[in-house]
Amino acid sequence: METTLRGVGVSHGVAIGEVRHMGTAVLEPPAKQIPAEEAEREQGRARQAVEAVAADLIARGNLAGGEAQHVLEAQAMMAQDPELMADVDRRIAVGSTAERAVYDAFAAYRALLAGAGEYLAGRVADLDDVRNRIVARLLGVPMPGVPDSDEPYVLIARDLAPADTALLDPTLVLGFVTEEGGPTSHSAILARALGVPAVVAMPGAGELVEGTVIAVDGSTGEVFVDPSGEKRAELAKAAAERKALLSAASGPGATSDGHKVPLLANVGGPADVPAAVEAGAEGVGLFRTEFLFLDDSTRAPSEEKQVEAYRKVLEAFPEGRVVVRVLDAGADKPLDFLTPADEPNPALGVRGLRTLLDHPDVLRTQLSALARAAEGLPVYLEVMAPMVADRIDAKAFADACREAGLQAKFGAMVEIPSAALRARSILQEVEFLSLGTNDLAQYTFAADRQVGAVSRLQDPWQPALLDLVAASAEAAKAEGKSCGVCGEAASDPLLACVLTGLGVTSLSMGAASIPYVRAALAKHTLAQCERAAAAARAADTAADARAAAQAVLSGE
C-alpha cells in the first residue's frame, strides 16, 4: 500500500528504486586491559591507523575534487587532531587497547562538544565517521560504507559522512534519504554538486525495509513507499516537464519580462570551474579560498601558490564577474596557525574577518595574491569579507584592500543579523553585499546548521530570514549598490523567484542548480516574483511561506 513520508528536499530530481541500507557502523570494541609493556606497541598501532585513515580521506578528496576535496581534507585534520591523539595515548598508557582508546577518546570529545553547544557539534556525523574508520582498521573489519550492488538503488542511512557522499556513483545510487542532517549539511551540499536527488531529516528512514521500492522527490522532500503505477507515471511526467523546461531555458538569468538576474556559481577551487562553465554560469558569486589553506594547517600557503590557484579561476570567466571570499577560518574550519584551540564557542568567537584582522599579514598576502592574479585579465574581480558584524569591520576590510593595492570592488558578507539590520551603514564602507543564508539562518535562530533536530529553523523559507534578506536588499537599493545571495537558498528554484522579488540582484549556487533556477525565473515576471515575496513574508511558518509563494506563482 502506497504511503507518503516527508523530509527536507535538498537536491532536485526524482529517483525510483529499491532500498539499500548503509553498511552497519563499527561495533563498540570490548573493554579489556593490556599489560603495561604492550602500551608502546598499542600507541604505535593507533598512530598508524590514524595516519592511514587520514591518508585515505585525502586520497578520496583528491579523487572527488571540487567541493568534496576541502570537506574531506578538513575531516582528515579532524582524525589527526593532536589533543585527541594525546587522549588516545593517555588511555593506552593506563591499560586500554588501541581500538578501545580511540573509541573512548572520540566519545569523550563528542560529548564535550555536544554539551558545550559548540559549532563543531554540527560535525558529529563527520566525527563519528572518522572514529569508525580508525576503529575498523584497528579491528581488521570492513569499513562502514556504501553497500555493494550490481543494480541501481536508493541509499538509506542515518546520516552520510562526506567521505561516502563524495564518491557516490550516480549510475548506481539513484538517490539517497537520511534520517538526520539538514539542508546545509555537507552531505546535502555534495548531493547537489553530484546532481543526485536527496531528502534529509526524514523521521523513520531507517525503518524502511531493504528491497522496498520507493520514489524520492528531492524537490519537495516527499518519499513515496511502494508507489502505485499512477504515482510513478505522475512523477515521471513531472520529471519530463522539468527536463523540457531546463532544455528550453538558456542564456543569462532573467525573468520572463526581461529583468536581469545574473546566475553565478559557488566554487571551492579550480576543480569546480568546468561544471560551472558547462552550466552556463555568468561568473562566480562565491569563490571559497579555504581549499588552499587546508593542505597544511600549520602555516599559510605562499603568495606564489595563491596567485597560481586564483588565476586559474579568474581566467575561466573572461568579461565575467568573480567574487572571492577571503579566508573564512575558525569554527568548523580551524587552522593551527590562526585559530585559538581553547575557545569555549568558536562559532561566536574569533572566526572569519575577526581572525584575519588579528593576523593582518595573512590577509595582506592573500589580497596581494589576488591583485597579482587579476593583472592583465578582463575579469571583474570583487573581494568580500566573511562574518562582517558592523561598519567598523567593513571599514577595516576596505582599508586593508586599499593598502594592498587591490583594484577591485570590496564587499561584505551578511551572515550576522546585525549586518542585515545595519546594512545601509555597512554600505558606506563597501560597494556590495552578499548574503550567506546558511550562517545567517544559523545565527538568527540559534540553530546549528548541521543538527537535524533543528532543521526546521535552518529552512531558508523562514519568514524572519526573508525579512533580513529584504532589509539588506532594500538598503543596497537605497545606496545604489548590489546585494546578491550566495547561500544554499539560491539553489531552490521557487525561492530564487522569491529572492528576486525581495530585491536581490544576483544569485549564486552550486553549478548543478543553475539550469533549474534559470528555467524557474524565465517562467515568471518580476511583478509575480514581488507578489510571491510579499505573500511569503506575510506567512508565519516556513511551510506556509513556501505554499503562499507557490500559490502566487502557479496562479492559484
Q: How far apart are the first and last CA of the chain?
A: 31
Catalytic residue among 70, 359, 483, 486: 486
524 catalytic residue (yes or no): no
Cell numbers representing residue 223 in the block: 518519499
Angle among Cα 197, 502, 530 to the nearest 5 degrees reads: 95
Shortest CA distance to 505 belongs to which of 537, 463, 477, 533? 477
Report helix, strand or coil for 226.
Answer: coil
Cα–Cα dist 160/187, whole Å: 6
Angle at the Cα of 235 from the Cα atoms of 229 and 240, rounded to 5 degrees: 125
What is the rounded CA–CA span in Å between residue 506 and residue 430? 17
Nearest to 158 by CA among 345, 329, 23: 23
Neighbours of 260 (CB within 10 A): 13
H/E stretch holding 354 reads helix 353-358
Cell of 510: 552550486
**Element housing 154 (H / E):** strand 153-157
Rounded Cα distance between 118 and 448, Å, is 9
**Residue among 70, 186, 359, 524 flagged as catalytic:** 186
Radius of gyration of the chain measured on its C-alpha atoms: 24
Residue 241 makes CB contacts below 8 A (sequence gap 6+) with: none
Residues 21, 157 contacting (CB under 8 angstroms):
yes
Residue 247: which residues within 8 A CB-CB, separation 6 or more? none
Beta bridge partners of 15: 216
368's grid cell: 596581494
Q: Identify any residues that bridge with 384 across adjacent strands, giving them in sequence order.
A: 325, 411
**Rounded Cα distance, 421 and 252, in Å:** 31
Residue 155, C-beta contacts closer than 8 angstroms, at least 6 positions apart: 20, 21, 22, 146, 147, 168, 173, 175, 176, 177
486 is catalytic: yes
What one-character-per-residue DSSP string does 392-456 give? HHHHHHHHHHHHTT--SEEEEEE-SHHHHHTHHHHTTT-SEEEE-HHHHHHHHHT--TT-GGGGG
Residue with the three cell numbers 554600505: 427
At 426, list the grid cell.
Answer: 555597512
Distance CA 174, CA 154 (A): 5
Distance CA(547)–CA(501), nearest Å, equals 16
Single out the residue of 136, 123, 103, 129 nearest to residue 181, CA to CA: 123
Active-site positions read: 186, 486
